[in-house]
Structure 1
Amino acid sequence: MTSSAPNADFRDLVAFDALEDEKITPFSLDGTPVVVIRDGEQVHAFAGKCPHKDAPLEQGAFCRTAKGSVLVCPWHKAVFDAVDGSLVEPLALDPLPQYPVQIVDGRVLVGLRPMQRQAPQKRQETESVLLLGAGAAAVSAAVTLRAEGFAGTISMVSEEKDLPYDRTALSKTVLVSETEKAHAPPVREESFYAERGIRRIRGRVREFDPQTRTAELEDGTRLTADHVLIATGAVTRKPDIPGVDMQGVYTLHREADAERIAALLNPDLAVTIVGAGFIGLEAASSLRQRGVGVTIISDTEIPMEKQFGREIGIRLRQLHEENGVAFVSDARVMEIYSDESKDGVATASGVELDDGTRLPAAFVLLGVGVTPATGYVLGLERDECGAIVVNGQMRVMAGGDTCSNVYAAGDASAIIHDGAPRRIEHWRHAEIQGRIAALAMMGHDTPNVPMPWFWTQQFGKKIELLGWGESFDNVALEGDIRGFRFLATYLKDGRPVALAGAGRATDMARAAVDFEGFLAEKA
């Protein structure tokens, strides 16, 4: 029924008839975890853990889609082809190892060694790609280009000295770590870039001209290429209040930010966080786990109500309060004040609110959002926040038309959805966009941009959200919100527009690849 390696040793794992169709079944292959999937009369075997973060794939989902069967990771929604394990969508950047299968006398036998993948045919040897940025979108593009056989030159420009890293770890795990371990994991090791001939250039882009595809760095270096991807992400937004640039006021957007904060922490500190969005709440969770006292200043009573709705927002606030986080709601910070100086430099001592209240703090952390880092780009269509508007292939727009061989992805971009530009500030979406841009550069057919998915983790509780950020007027809830085991369907004029879940990994995995189909099955 399926191919096998000619000289591989095999192990008898299960009777064919014992496998339930479309079910992911885990096995141990001489101590190595594998999953076996029966797809009609076919049986396929794969590594049992996702190559991204070792998620147990039996907790994910097998789905039949219009383009074929797929396997979806339960944790971060990487999507793999369920026939050969090839990568369909990130977060993973590698294919899923596939094991050979034989069916003999009604028994399923699986080979002990993964099957070798055929190397892609080299192509476009004389062409060049310039990646402006080194975040999720740029790295995904670089990985995809080489994985698909692009043999030309690839250059990646970044302001940061460190290897491209997993930015999602900054608020989720880095702050929890002791100082010597407070580092975000690299997306790829140094050897990856060297072995694949990806040139890393440290510098800040002063100007980019899409018409000539030429970037000028601050040191005067000029770079041009046949294909250019704008993926410089975003910069932290700072509120227009006195004292915001004072020493002792921090943001959390880069690894250096997290390292500086982690080095300060001890249980005797009391910290003020301005903003109750994703960064503010995740940072509060991490800081409390280090024993630090935390007060959150927010202009709304219910955190993340716009994203999750009132009931889930209330539960999130309760979760934080149960863990010792204090909230000051419906308040605005008017000033960050200083009562002391270090080495003659004024240092933040706390915040003053609009009612005159002064709240002392060892330091102040700002979590009030980001702004697309696109000021250096000449021309091109922008959304109201300055993000570069792109079509479904990530091609940039100029005067209503696409601009030849120039792309944008990640936080710097806004993709047209339902007739309007949408900026999605999430890691998985950025990786997907970078992958699509790379496929377009190579002339491949590009997949449709999937519905954006992201997650937040706070005090060990994970909530996933699937949607385009559309407004909603009703929320249908099922399950136990108190125990963080629920599914929430968000509706606008009776039409489902988003889905949130906690403790429902398989459901969210299925919905991530077939939103409408999942809802139809559930109805």
Structure 2
Amino acid sequence: MPTIARRVAQLSQLRSDRAERFVVDGKPILLVRDGDTVHAYSADCPHAGAPLEEGALCHGRIICPWHKATFDVATGNVLEPPALVALDRYPVVVAGDDVMVTPEKLPQPVRNASELKPHYVVIGAGAAGAAACAALRECGFSGHLTLIGAEPHAPYDRTALSKFVPSGEMPAADVPPLLPQDWFERHDVERIVGNVARLDVPGRTIHFETGGKLTYDTALLATGSVPKLPAIPGVDLGGVHVLRSLDDAAALVDAIGDDAGQTQVAILGSSFIGLETASALRKRGTPVTVISPEKVPFAKQFGERAGVMFRELHERHGVVFRLEAKVASLEGEEGDVHEVMLENGDAISADLVLLGTGVAPATGFVEGLPLQKDGGVIVNAGMQAAPGLYAAGDIAAFPLHDDEEPLRIEHWRVAQQHARIAAENMCGARHRYAGVPYFWTYHFGKRFEYLGHANEWDEIVIDGDLDQQQFVALYVKDARVIAALACEREAQTARLIDAMARGVSRADALAMISDASCVAQ
């Protein structure tokens, strides 16, 4: 029996600058007015469930408040990650001033392979790999598509590993996948679990550690990074951990066990992974000492004042810092670590050590392609590295701006932005990276967002209270906003990231973050 349309709202009461949430037969539905047309979509972001009406509606784009996924107002299709699938759509009829919605979602298109050629391969089953597969099928690629990854798990949300798994808020087994469980099968994407021993770029051939090989027509290299192990004695002791994969996170939680309050943890490095994990462990009452050669955490990324704010936030929650300190060795008993020795002779007790000492591009297997000294892959603005080869994510050194040298940005969402552009170009487009880098970091229940990228700035303009973690800090160069750091200002940053893509002045940005709406132009 067909579902009957429900009268949900009046057209005259719907605003064109703000989406609104309604519940229709128990289903949360988002209404978006576009002139005299109204669109009805699922009200929560398919990435992590954020309420989309709390984000922004700008320039024909619906922008998620939490992680800045962006959708087309007219279609609900993905424009920017981290969402990888379109919004569910519902039939709408406008009769006079009445807006009628049928609460039965329209079917999403499923794009399958219809031929064996050409053969595209995505090497790396992380954020970029999943985004590339989704975008390739979305763009109409109907050839043979293969995704290669070293982990047996389908691509998952790696950001949870340092934010929620060590605290016990999310068991490792519950880390969400990036795409629905049956997506790869429904869209005819072949998955190969294995390690690549050698990539012959000129020969377009992949050689596996098991001895097999695979040829391709075009490939996307999206292998991400591997943790750097510091060259110090004792780094191979039991109880020394890295945190990069789902299995790493599970091993860390298992090592701490049920007696979290008595397990002393030393974290080497004041990186984002290190301090996010420190925050998560302190939620369980675990004693944590952070050892770092830096004077102030995050000062390079955010400036000294913001760095001090982060340090003081951690100290108020019991994290002990040993800054401007260098590690001489890790000492053990019966093969397991028990203390960290500093170069000044101090000894810090540790039942477990987490290495937060940085990462390096996972490109050691690439042959026939010049790499940067650090292993980075140089790509053009279309993410192409060589004929038949594209690269995305941590490994990709790309031109963020035309007048600057290529750089690598190790952000999860940037990897997905890269992947979408690469996939579009693999399907015949000629798109260039023109997005705004974005990432978020989570400390003691506070979500900090960073928009853009700034190596240097003329001034930092703060709107709000930095010490209370309720603010937007604008990083200004030549009177233009090149980056922003914010906390508890998610609707404002949704509007700001849209403006930064077009270029925004200091004055206009300040006006925008104090305004309550964004009118489409």
TM-based fold match above 0.5: yes
1:154 aligns with 2:149: no
Unaligned regions of 5+ residues in structure 1, if any?
1-6, 397-402
What secondary structure does 2:166 align onto? helix
The Cα of 1:153 is off from its aligned counterpart by 1.4
Distance 1:262 1:521 in 2: 42
Equivalence for 1:244: 235
Equivalence for 1:3: none
Distance 1:182 1:269 in 2: 23
- Letter of the 1:405 counterpart: G
The Cα of 1:392 is off from its aligned counterpart by 1.9
Which is further off, 457-466 or 500-509?
500-509
1:417 aligns with 2:408: no
CA change 1:517–1:107 in 2 (3 A) is farther
CA change 1:102–1:197 in 2 (3 A) is closer
Distance 1:354 1:16 in 2: 70
Distance 2:25 2:441 in 1: 36
1:437 aligns with 2:431: no
Structure-to-structure mapping, 1:390-429, within 5 angstroms: 390-396=379-385, 403-418=386-401, 419-429=404-414
Which is further off, 273-282 or 19-28?
19-28
Equivalence for 1:335: 329
Distance 2:190 2:113 in 1: 18
Distance 1:514 1:297 in 2: 39
- Letter of the 1:359 counterpart: I
Structure-to-structure mapping, 1:362-381, within 5 angstroms: 362-381=351-370
1:62 aligns with 2:53: no
Q: Deviations over 1:166-214 (max 9, x none)?
A: 1111101111227965553222355322333222222221211211111
**Do the aligned partners of 1:276 and 1:367 also contact (CA within 8 Å) in 2?**
yes
Which is further off, 322-331 or 30-39?
30-39
1:348 to 337, 340, 357: 337
Equivalence for 1:277: 271
Which is further off, 224-233 or 509-518?
509-518
**Do the aligned partners of 2:363 and 2:375 also contact (CA within 8 Å) in 1?**
yes
**Do the aligned partners of 1:315 and 1:482 also contact (CA within 8 Å) in 2?**
yes
Equivalence for 1:4: none
Equivalence for 1:264: 255
Equivalence for 2:283: 289
1:46 to 23, 38, 41: 41
Q: Deviations over 1:473-521 (max 9, x none)?
A: 4211010222221001112344321111111111211222331456535
CA change 1:390–1:517 in 2 (3 A) is closer
2:25 to 26, 30, 41: 30
CA change 1:514–1:124 in 2 (3 A) is farther
CA change 1:355–1:249 in 2 (3 A) is same
**Do the aligned partners of 2:239 and 2:255 also contact (CA within 8 Å) in 1?**
no
1:142 aligns with 2:136: no
Q: Deviations over 1:38-73 (max 9, x none)?
A: 233332221110111111001111011xxxx11011
Equivalence for 2:317: 323
- Letter of the 2:187 counterpart: R
1:496 aligns with 2:491: no
What secondary structure does 1:315 align onto? helix
Equivalence for 1:194: 185
Identity in percent: 39
Distance 1:473 1:427 in 2: 27
What secondary structure does 1:335 align onto? strand
- Letter of the 2:278 counterpart: A
2:464 to 479, 486, 490: 479
Equivalence for 2:216: 225
Distance 2:180 2:19 in 1: 31
What secondary structure does 1:257 align onto? helix
What secondary structure does 1:84 align onto? coil
**Do the aligned partners of 2:115 and 2:144 also contact (CA within 8 Å) in 1?**
no
**Do the aligned partners of 1:135 and 1:232 also contact (CA within 8 Å) in 2?**
yes
The Cα of 1:223 is off from its aligned counterpart by 1.0
Distance 1:89 1:424 in 2: 17
The Cα of 1:121 is off from its aligned counterpart by 9.1
The Cα of 1:117 is off from its aligned counterpart by 4.3
Distance 1:300 1:34 in 2: 48
Q: Deviations over 1:342-379 (max 9, x none)?
A: xxxx2111111121101011111110110001111123
What secondary structure does 1:320 align onto? helix
Structure-to-structure mapping, 1:465-476, within 5 angstroms: 465-476=450-461
Distance 1:204 1:75 in 2: 34
Which is further off, 509-518 or 206-215?
509-518
- Letter of the 2:222 counterpart: A
- Letter of the 1:406 counterpart: L
CA change 1:444–1:124 in 2 (3 A) is farther
Which is further off, 10-19 or 448-457?
10-19
The Cα of 1:472 is off from its aligned counterpart by 2.2
TM-score (norm 2): 0.92
Distance 2:499 2:429 in 1: 23
2:16 to 11, 18, 21: 21
**Do the aligned partners of 2:165 and 2:171 also contact (CA within 8 Å) in 1?**
no
Equivalence for 2:515: none
**Do the aligned partners of 1:122 and 1:149 also contact (CA within 8 Å) in 2?**
no
Q: Deviations over 1:387-416 (max 9, x none)?
A: 1011122110xxxxxx21211111121112
- Letter of the 1:415 counterpart: F
The Cα of 1:116 is off from its aligned counterpart by 3.4
**Do the aligned partners of 2:268 and 2:353 also contact (CA within 8 Å) in 1?**
yes
Which is further off, 183-192 or 367-376?
183-192
**Do the aligned partners of 2:438 and 2:452 also contact (CA within 8 Å) in 1?**
yes
Distance 1:431 1:334 in 2: 38
TM-score (norm 1): 0.91
Distance 2:158 2:171 in 1: 18
**Do the aligned partners of 2:47 and 2:178 also contact (CA within 8 Å) in 1?**
no
CA change 1:509–1:178 in 2 (3 A) is closer
1:505 aligns with 2:496: no
Which is further off, 435-444 or 450-459?
435-444
CA change 1:180–1:477 in 2 (3 A) is closer
Distance 1:371 1:102 in 2: 53
**Do the aligned partners of 2:461 and 2:475 also contact (CA within 8 Å) in 1?**
yes
The Cα of 1:327 is off from its aligned counterpart by 0.7
- Letter of the 2:369 counterpart: L
Distance 2:83 2:432 in 1: 17
